[in-house]
Amino acid sequence: WNWNESDQAALDAWLDESDRHRVAYLRQSAVWNSAERLVVLRPELEVPARARLFPLLMRIAAVVLVAALGAGGIAYYLHPRAAVYSTPIGGRKTLQRADGSQIELNTITIVSLSKEGNTRKATLVQGEAYFHIRHDAAHPFIVSAGDYRVTDLGTEFVVRRAPTRIEVGLLKGGVRFDAANIDGTPQSALLTPGDVLVADANSMSLSKKPLGELMNELGWRCGMLVFKDTMLQDAAAQFNRYNREKLVLTGADVARLRINGTFRAASIELFAQSVHDLFGLTVTRSDNELVISE
């Protein structure tokens, strides 16, 4: 297998087509690296390095098929030289960078960090992350999430990536948001503190929130969930992000009830008990669910 510039260009183009392709490449590379380490342990097998490799795209195609058949979709999206960090359900992680920046990962979050030339780059594969970035004009910091880019202008901000949309909230400084393609036209926006930008494949909206409200939404950094006149259905959805046991509401009237309070994200049973005490609702356990009903 004589790898050349044309092959590399084809691979790069294929990787750029979708997150799934990068996932496949990374996973297969990890498996193949492990296999090659096993070969090292068997010195009697004098196999040339290149001879040990199947044609790269054939290997990738096989992994794409495996990934397509597996449940759960994309797990990792990486630049081949990126460092990957992830959290499980209910988990949190803080990354201290050598440049003085800090990145905090919320529940079920995957982030890859890499450097391309003078650019510091983070790719938010899924979940939510808080960025406190040490600004350096000579070494810009960019967060990528699918077709969206958030460029640091000296700032503290949070990015949440959902399957069909992205949300960016700015607490301090400034960021530039760029969408590769909204309604067929590239769009961008400059955010100031308190701005919350929400974008999907068809639209982009910018609104303002009090900084105190944005800080409440970042209660997860301390393992807390803060609710202020929050509908019960929204509070339940928040708890379900952090717990394997899920809250299930029955009835539209129950879902529309509103609640205030601060709760530990992991204390789903305590929350259910509080709802029972406050509204007189019934709480029953079914399999891995807490069902709340009238």
Write the pLDDT tens digit of every residue in 133-146: 999 989 999 999 98
Residues 211-228 pLDDT 10s: 999 999 999 999 999 999
More confident residue, 117 or 62: 117
Residues 66-75 pLDDT 10s: 443 333 333 3
Mean pLDDT confidence for 114-120: 92
Mean pLDDT confidence for 174-199: 87
Residue with tokens 């393992």: 223
Q: Is the pLDDT of residue 38 over 70?
A: no
pLDDT number for residue 183: 62
pLDDT number for residue 187: 84
Q: Is the pLDDT of residue 109 over 70?
A: yes
pLDDT number for residue 44: 41
Mean pLDDT confidence for 235-249: 95
Distance of alpha carbon 262 from the chain centroid: 24
How far apart, in whole angstroms, are the C-alpha atoms of residue 161 and residue 166? 5
Q: Is the pLDDT of residue 203 over 60?
A: yes
More confident residue, 120 or 81: 120
How far apart, in whole angstroms, are the C-alpha atoms of residue 162 and residue 193? 22
pTM of the model: 0.72
Q: In three state form, how does the secondary structure of 97-130 look? A: CCCCCEEEECCCCEEEEEEECCEEEEEEEEEEEE
Mean pLDDT confidence for 251-261: 93
Q: By percentage, how much of the chain surpasses pLDDT 90?
A: 62
Mean pLDDT confidence for 35-54: 42
How far apart, in whole angstroms, are the C-alpha atoms of residue 119 and residue 122? 10
pLDDT number for residue 34: 40
Mean pLDDT confidence for 235-253: 94
Is the Cβ–Cβ distance between 122 and 152 less than 8 Å?
no
